[in-house]
């Protein structure tokens, strides 16, 4: 993706993400939902990651001969942040196994669904096309294609990771509400964290190959 286009889309995504972050964290705390709270804090890290994406775009636009390196730096930095987010979600979810809290399911489910809608909207903004298109899936592939914009890939992975945690949160909350399986709330948090760390590792490896000039 052209860095000029990515810059404009990233600014819009940052605005949408910050709005949803505040809503999810607030309702996650009020309803005692770990899945929803984790989703909200995860969105906070996305806002920071998108800030990195925007910062890198500005340098890549200014120094066009170093575009690939700058994009790789953006991908590398974001991969570390993404990995730390996954680890934090796992740790907090595990603590909920030993210190469970009652959950306000109706409010939590509503906000989780709203969060998923926002994630899909951000995917549309970043890609400029249907988020369920095969190209969206390709962004999650670990193989590095020539001239791939890892700065864009990092930003898109953050959105995809948040969409994943939203879907998992909705599933856990619905099962908890209708079947009383409250243990799924922290369990889903662990599963989501592991998947996010896996994505972060793939992006980290891809970025390092470019930064270290590996083939």
- Nearest-angstrom CA–CA distance, 121 and 125: 6
Taking only the tens of pLDDT, the chain with its 215 residues reads: 667 777 888 888 888 888 888 887 887 788 777 666 766 776 777 787 788 888 888 887 877 778 888 888 888 888 898 888 889 889 988 888 887 767 777 777 887 788 789 889 888 888 764 433 444 444 444 444 445 678 788 888 878 877 887 888 888 888 888 888 878 778 888 888 898 898 889 889 988 988 888 75
166 φ/ψ angles, rounded to the nearest 5 degrees: -65, -45
101 φ/ψ angles, rounded to the nearest 5 degrees: -125, 150
Q: What pLDDT was estimated at residue 35?
A: 60
Q: What pLDDT was estimated at residue 162?
A: 77
Q: What pLDDT was estimated at residue 38?
A: 66
Q: Which helix (H) or strand (E) holds 143?
A: none
Q: What pLDDT was estimated at residue 72?
A: 86
3-211: CATH number: 1.20.1510.10
Q: What pLDDT was estimated at residue 128?
A: 62
Q: What pLDDT was estimated at residue 1?
A: 60
Q: What pLDDT was estimated at residue 148?
A: 67
Q: Which helix (H) or strand (E) holds 34?
A: helix 34-62
125 to 51, 180, 200, 201, 203: CA distances (angstroms): 16, 37, 22, 25, 21
- Cα angle value 168/170/171 (rounded, 5°): 65
- Give the closest residue to 155 by CA, choosing from 79, 84, 206: 79
16 to 5, 69, 112, 123: CA distances (angstroms): 17, 28, 15, 11
Domain extents in the chain: 3-211
Burial of 106 (0-12, 13-18, 19+ CB in 10 A): exposed
Q: What pLDDT was estimated at residue 215?
A: 56
- Nearest-angstrom CA–CA distance, 8 and 203: 23
């Amino acid at each position: 993706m052209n860095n000029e286009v990515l810059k404009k889309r990233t600014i819009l995504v940052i605005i949408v993400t910050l709005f949803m972050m505040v809503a999810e964290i607030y309702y996650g705390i009020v309803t005692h939902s770990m899945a929803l709270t984790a989703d909200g804090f995860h969105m906070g890290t996305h806002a920071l990651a998108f800030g990195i994406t925007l910062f890198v775009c500005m340098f890549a636009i200014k120094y066009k001969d170093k575009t690939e390196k700058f994009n790789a730096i953006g991908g590398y930095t974001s991969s570390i942040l993404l990995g730390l987010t996954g680890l934090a979600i796992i740790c907090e979810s595990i603590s909920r196994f030993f210190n469970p809290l009652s959950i306000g399911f109706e409010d939590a489910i509503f906000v989780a669904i709203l969060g998923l809608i926002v994630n899909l909207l951000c995917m549309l903004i970043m890609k400029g096309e249907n988020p369920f298109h095969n190209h969206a899936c390709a962004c999650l592939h670990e193989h590095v294609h020539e001239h791939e914009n890892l700065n864009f890939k990092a930003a898109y992975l953050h959105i995809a990771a948040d969409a994943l945690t939203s879907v998992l949160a909705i599933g856990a909350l619905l099962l908890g509400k209708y079947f009383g399986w409250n243990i799924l709330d922290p369990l889903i948090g662990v599963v989501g964290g592991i998947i996010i760390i896996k994505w972060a590792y793939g992006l980290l490896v891809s970025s390092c190959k470019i930064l270290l000039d590996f083939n």
